[in-house]
Each structure stands twice: as C-alpha cells, then as structure tokens.
Amino acid sequence: MRKSVAYALLVLLLWAALALPYARRGTPRAAAESLPAAAAPPAEGSAAPATAESGADSAAGTGFDAACRICVLVEGQRRSMDLRRYLTGVLLAELPERFSDACFQAQAVASRTYALRSDAHRRHDPAALCDSASCCQGWLDPDSVSPQRRARAEAAVDATDGLVIRCGGKLIEATFFSCSGGRTEDAAAVWGNDLPYLRSVESLGEEGAAHYRDETRIPLSEFRAALTELDPAVELEGDPALWIGAVVSTAGGGVEEIRLGGRPFRGTDLRKRFALRSTAFELRLEGEEAVFTTRGFGHRVGMSQYGAEAMARAGNDFETILKWYYTGVEIGPAER
C-alpha cells in the first residue's frame, strides 16, 4: 500500500518536472506565475546533461567545456584557457551574485554559444574574444573571487556543459544586454542586419534594474553643437519648442529616427553621441537643457539579463528563458 502511494507520488513529481516546462511554452511568465512554487521545475531541467552541481568536480575533467580550449584577450594579453574556466569568469563578470541558478544557466548557454561563434570568426584574431563587456563578454578571473562564488558560477556552467543555441543548424549570434525597459529590439533596428532569431519580444519584470528608467541632461549649447556636427544642415534657431519633430519608432519601442531642426537623426547615432543608456528614449527641452528619458540599458537585442532573472524567479528553466528571448531556436550539444 505504502509502496504504491510512493510510486504514485514519484510519477507525479516526474511528470511535474518533465511536462510542465513544455506545457508552459509560448506564455512562460504568465503560466509560471500561476504555478505554486513547489511545482516549479528544478533549474537543471531535462535538457541538461548529467553534470549537475554535485558532479561539478568530475565534470571539471570530463565535459565538453573542460576539453575545449579558447584564446581570450585579458587586459590586452592573449591567454589560452579551457572553456569551463572562461565561462565561469564570464558569469562572474556579467551577472550579479544574487541572480537565480536558472538565469546563470541561461547566461552560460548564451555565452558558450557566443564564445564558440566568436572562436570560429576569430573576432580578435588570433584570439577568439576579449574581456570587455562592451565589446565581447565581460570576464573576471575565477581565482579572484571567493570559493563559494566561484563554485556557484561553475555549477551553472557544468549543469549546461556543452549546450549551445542554434537556428537552422547554425550557432546563433547570442547577444544579450542588461535591461530592455519592457521590450527587446529587432536586430535590424540596431545593426541593420535582419536575423530571424533576434526579434523584438516582451520582457517583463525588469523594474528592479538600476537603469530601467534613466535621464540624461545635456546643456542646450552642447546639444546644438553636437547635432550641427552630426548634420551641418540642421537648423536650430528661434524657439526651441519647435526644434523637435516627428519620431519613427522601431518594433521594440526604440527611436529609429527623430526629426530635429528639420533634419532626420537616427536613434542609434544620438545614443552614441550623447552616451544614452539606450535608443528607447523620449526627448524634451527644459529651460537650458535637452532631457533624454531612456528605458533600458544596452543595445536591447537578444536576451535581457534582468528579464531572464525575472523569468527564473517565476519558475522558468534556462531552456524556456533562452527560447523566449531567441525566437525559433534549438538548444543542443556542441560538436567537438
């Protein structure tokens, strides 16, 4: 009798762990939020190979990541290391310590994909990539942090050992950023090239991010000089209230183009020129200042780290998170 009850419980638990993440696909957040916490799937979902946290030591010598070497520019110096060490350092640099395991795992898979694709293209020939977060991916020497902090990052790398993201059989450009401000951006809107898996998607629950909303104030004289430098034909005379014209928005709620002083300016150019947090901005003139109110932080294309964390906290596993932010992709083992 007892045995059959235990068996029924086991079957129920297995079903909850395996079936629920898939049943939720499509609307991961809403459904996950309605689940009781106990029914949330374990972070190491069914897609992960058998290198869970407890097996971290054995995975260190046997997994794909440990066997794969990568050349990285660290503070300008070429350093060769195994992919496991590299990815551990990326997680330490890229994510706040308080973020959830599923978010760490999603970041590990995105960063592994990014690194292997960069390796194929030799982004910093002969090195695969550099340690700058604004150029490639941030990297922090795992030896420079506490053993506990390092072990936690390593566990996320090991739990996803060798897993990468593909679209149409090819490694994707797995871009990511801090916070979108509510919606991510199409790749074409920011870089001009259309990639089917980098499409604008909703990204909820980011309100806690430091730069969810931000303000950049520029003295009017500097604003005028900068615009004139970008386009000498701009006419910024007379009443400043008439300087700001029509705005063309992107699918992700960014500024594709804004007319200023009778001339069109690209949102990406203004972001660069005025060091704005993102291209999702509103502009107003206030006294002797131009005021940009921005939403989000970063290029806003691909996976939002704060959005991924919100999904993880709602009970989604790393695979569900990745498939939310990268449209129409598959997740599977890398080829040796």
Cβ proximity to Zn ion, 40 vs 130, nearer residue: 130
Contacting Zn ion within 68-107 (CB under 5 A): none
Cβ proximity to Zn ion, 155 vs 172, nearer residue: 172
Nearest CA-CA partner of 247 in 261, 234, 260: 260
CA–chain centroid gap for 142, Å, is 21
Instruction: Measure the CA–CA gap between 230 and 28, rounded to whole angstroms.
Output: 43
The site that binds Zn ion (CB under 5 A) totals a number of residues, namely 3
Q: Are 280 and 153 in contact, with CB atoms under 8 Å apart?
A: no
CB of 202 to Zn ion, least distance (A): 30
Judged by CB under 5 A, the stretch of 98-106, 133-141, 245-253, 258-266 that binds Zn ion is 133-141
Contacting Zn ion within 101-130 (CB under 5 A): 130
Adjacency order of strands within the sheet including 213-219: 213-219, 289-295, 281-286
The tokens 């704005």 sit on which residue?
276
CB of 79 to Zn ion, least distance (A): 14
Largest CA-CA distance found in the chain, in angstroms, rounded: 88
CB of 130 to Zn ion, least distance (A): 3
CB of 124 to Zn ion, least distance (A): 6
For residue 146, the tally of other CB atoms under 10 A from its CB is 9
Instruction: Measure the CA–CA gap between 107 and 307, rounded to whole angstroms.
Output: 12
Instruction: Measure the CA–CA gap between 136 and 111, rounded to whole angstroms.
Output: 10
Q: Which of 136, 174, 195, 201 binds Zn ion (CB under 5 A)?
A: 136
Instruction: Measure the CA–CA gap between 323 and 179, rounded to whole angstroms.
Output: 17
Instruction: Measure the CA–CA gap between 255 and 270, rounded to whole angstroms.
Output: 9
Contacting Zn ion within 154-183 (CB under 5 A): none
Cβ proximity to Zn ion, 125 vs 335, nearer residue: 125
CB of 141 to Zn ion, least distance (A): 17
Q: How many residues does the chain have?
A: 336
Nearest CA-CA partner of 296 in 176, 133, 188: 176
CB of 170 to Zn ion, least distance (A): 21
Cβ proximity to Zn ion, 139 vs 326, nearer residue: 139
Cβ proximity to Zn ion, 128 vs 331, nearer residue: 128
Q: Which of 14, 135, 225, 248 binds Zn ion (CB under 5 A)?
A: 135
Q: Which helix (H) or strand (E) holds 170?
A: strand 170-171
Cβ proximity to Zn ion, 19 vs 135, nearer residue: 135
3 state DSSP class of 219: strand
Contact map string, positions 5 to 44, toward Zn ion, x by CB under 5 A:
----------------------------------------
CB of 301 to Zn ion, least distance (A): 17
Cβ proximity to Zn ion, 78 vs 217, nearer residue: 78
Contact map string, positions 194 to 223, toward Zn ion, x by CB under 5 A:
------------------------------
CB of 274 to Zn ion, least distance (A): 24
Nearest CA-CA partner of 184 in 176, 174, 173, 172: 176
Residues near Zn ion (CB under 5 A): 130, 135-136
